[in-house]
Amino acid sequence: MLKSIGIHHITAMVNDAQRNIDFYTNVLGLRLVKRTVNFDRPEVYHLYFGDNSGHPGTIITFFPWEKQLKGRIGTGQVGVTSYAIPNQSMSVWKDRLQQFGLEFKRTSRFGEAILAFRDSDGLELELIERQIKSSNHEIIGFAGATLFSAQPNKTAEILESLFGMECVGEEDGFLRFKGEALVGNTIDIKLTPSVRGLMGAGTFHHIALRANDEKELNEWRELLLDKGYNPTEVRDRNYFKSIYFHDEGGILFEIATDSPGFTVDESIEQLGEGLMLPQWLEAKREALEKQLPKVEVRRVEGNQS
Ligand code: ZN
What average pLDDT does this structure show over 64-82? 97
Measured in Å, residue 258 CA sits from the centre of ligand 1 at 12
DSSP string covering 235-298, please? EE-SSEEEEEEE-TTS-EEEEEEEEE-GGGSS-GGGTTSSB---GGGGGGHHHHHHHSPP----
* pLDDT tens for each residue of 210-248: 999 999 999 999 999 999 999 999 999 999 999 999 999
Centre of ligand 1 to C-alpha 270, Å, is 22
Residue 252: HSE in the Cβ half-sphere, 13 Å Cα cutoff:
15
Residue 302 lies in a domain: no
Over residues 181-219, the pLDDT tens digits come to: 999 999 999 999 999 999 999 999 999 999 999 999 999
Note whether residue 303 is domain-resident: no
Contacts made by residues 154-162, CB under 8 angstroms, sequence distance 24+: 154/247, 154/248, 154/249, 155/189, 155/247, 155/248, 155/249, 155/251, 156/189, 158/247, 158/253, 159/187, 159/189, 162/2, 162/220, 162/223, 162/224, 162/227
Mean pLDDT (whole number) for 139-146? 98
Q: Is there a domain that residue 297 lies in?
A: no
Ligand 1 centroid vs 206 CA: distance in angstroms? 6
Q: Is the peptide bond before 260 cis (omega within 30 degrees of 0)?
A: yes
| Span 146-190, pLDDT tens digits | 999 999 999 999 999 999 999 999 999 999 999 999 999 999 999
CA 88 – ligand 1 centroid, Å: 32
Strands 252-260 and 240-246, sheet pairing: antiparallel
Residue burial 88-118, b: 16+ Cβ < 10 Å; e: rest: ebbeebbebbeebebebeeeebbebbbbbbe
In a domain, 214, yes or no: yes
To the nearest whole percent, how much of the chain has pLDDT over 90? 97
Establish if 298 belongs to a structural domain. no
H or E stretch at 21: helix 17-22
| Mean residue pLDDT across the chain | 97
Residues in the chain: 305
The residue segments making up the domain with residue 89 are 7-291
User: pLDDT tens digits, residue range 256-285?
Assistant: 999 999 999 999 999 999 999 999 999 999
Beta-carbon-side half-sphere exposure of residue 108 (alpha carbons within 13 Å): 7
Q: Is the pLDDT of residue 102 over 60?
A: yes
Assigned domain for 82 exists:
yes
The model's pTM:
0.97
pLDDT of residue 23: 98
Q: What is the pLDDT of residue 144?
A: 98
Contact 174, 188 (CB under 8 A): yes
At residue 288, the pLDDT reads 97
The predicted-structure confidence for 46-62, as pLDDT tens digits, reads as follows 999 999 999 999 999 99
Q: How far is the CA of 201 from the centre of ligand 1 (A)?
A: 16
CATH label of the domain that carries residue 41: 3.10.180.10
Structural domains counted in the chain = 1
Q: For 205, which DSSP code?
A: E
Helix (H, G, I), strand (E, B) or coil at 82: strand
Residues with CB in 5 Å of ion ligand 1? 11, 208, 254
Question: 72 by DSSP, 3-state: which?
Answer: strand
For residue 187, how far is its CA from the centre of ligand 1 (angstroms)?
17
Q: Does residue 28 lie within any of the structural domains? A: yes
Is 92 a residue whose pLDDT tops 70?
A: yes
Closest residue by Cα to residue 230 from 220, 242, 245 = 245
Is 190 within a domain?
yes
pLDDT computed for residue 305 by the predictor? 55
